[in-house]
Amino acid sequence: MARAKNTNRAQSRRRHREEQRQNQLSDSATVNQISSDDDAADIQPVTATPGIRGMFKMPDWRKDVRDLPIILRSSKKVWVAFAALFVSFFMAVALDRGYIPVGPDKIAALFVELTLPPTALFIFFIGGFLAPRASYLVGAVLGLVDGLLWSLLFLISPTAQADATARPVKPVDFVLVVLVAIVVGTLAAGFAAWYRNFLRQSQERARQNRLARDQQAKIKAKEDARKERDAARQASAAARQAKTPSK
């Protein structure tokens, strides 16, 4: 009878240890599943932005030409470039006729030099940067207006007419001036729009990189917390086993 009694006690202790081990494994699996679900919920899909090569593409010029009047009417910011052209033209006329006093005339001359000549890029950059789309067409229209104003300035300027006595000016010269202004305006405004999109996509890529780093930090923090809970649970289980009296 004594040997049977000892056998029953040993089997009881084995069952008790097996139950503790099963409970510990079950708790660990549950915590791991919950943590994995939390990590999956925290991870948000990040939309990839096209690289620099993806930013170069042929425009739909038929649609852009059809929508150009709507773009010019709806975008008030674009008219800032046109207004600057006309202000520069009237400043050039005032400078040529001596209406601007000494001192401010230097500032006015600098403004005219940067904005009115067909090869000046400042106005075209502004127009292309502010246009919501079809910036190259906006630049072409700005070039057309600029070429006409530059030609008109030559026709009404006594100084320009005096300089032209050595070489007679032909109508083809004015046509060439307008064509050069249109080409320069188209290219400059198109480049300004590309640079604007490049800045926007650079900011978007930086934002996505920050989000990815934050997500990785959250995952690492959850993993560390899970390891700490597992270690604490194992320590607690070991302490319970140590306190269990052996029979």
Q: Does the pLDDT of residue 173 top 90, yes or no?
A: no
- Rounded mean pLDDT of the chain? 78
How many other C-beta atoms lie within 10 A of the C-beta of residue 59? Answer: 14
Report pLDDT for 46: 45
Residue 73: the pLDDT is: 87
pLDDT confidence bin for 236, thresholds 50/70/90: confident
| Range 149-183 burial, b when 16+ CB lie within 10 A, else e | bbbebbeebeeeeeeeeeeeeeeeebeebbebbbe
pLDDT of 2 > 50? The answer is no
CA dihedral 164, 170, 175, 177 (to 10 degrees): -20
Residue 65 tokens, joined: 């030409």
Match 């202000």 to its residue by tokens.
87
User: Could you read off the pLDDT of 109-153 as tens digits, one per residue?
Assistant: 999 999 999 998 999 999 999 998 889 999 999 999 999 999 999
Closest CA to 96 of 155, 143, 146, 168: 155
At residue 33 the predicted structure's pLDDT band, cuts being 50, 70 and 90, is low
Cβ distance 60 to 133 under 8 Å?
no
Which tens digits make up the pLDDT trace of 200-215?
888 888 888 888 888 8
Q: Which residues contact 178 (CB under 8 A, 6 or more apart)?
A: 143, 144, 147, 148, 151
Who wins on pLDDT, 143 or 64?
A: 143
Chain CA centroid to CA 59, Å:
20
The mean pLDDT value for 95-117 works out to 89
Q: What letter represents residue 188's amino acid?
A: A
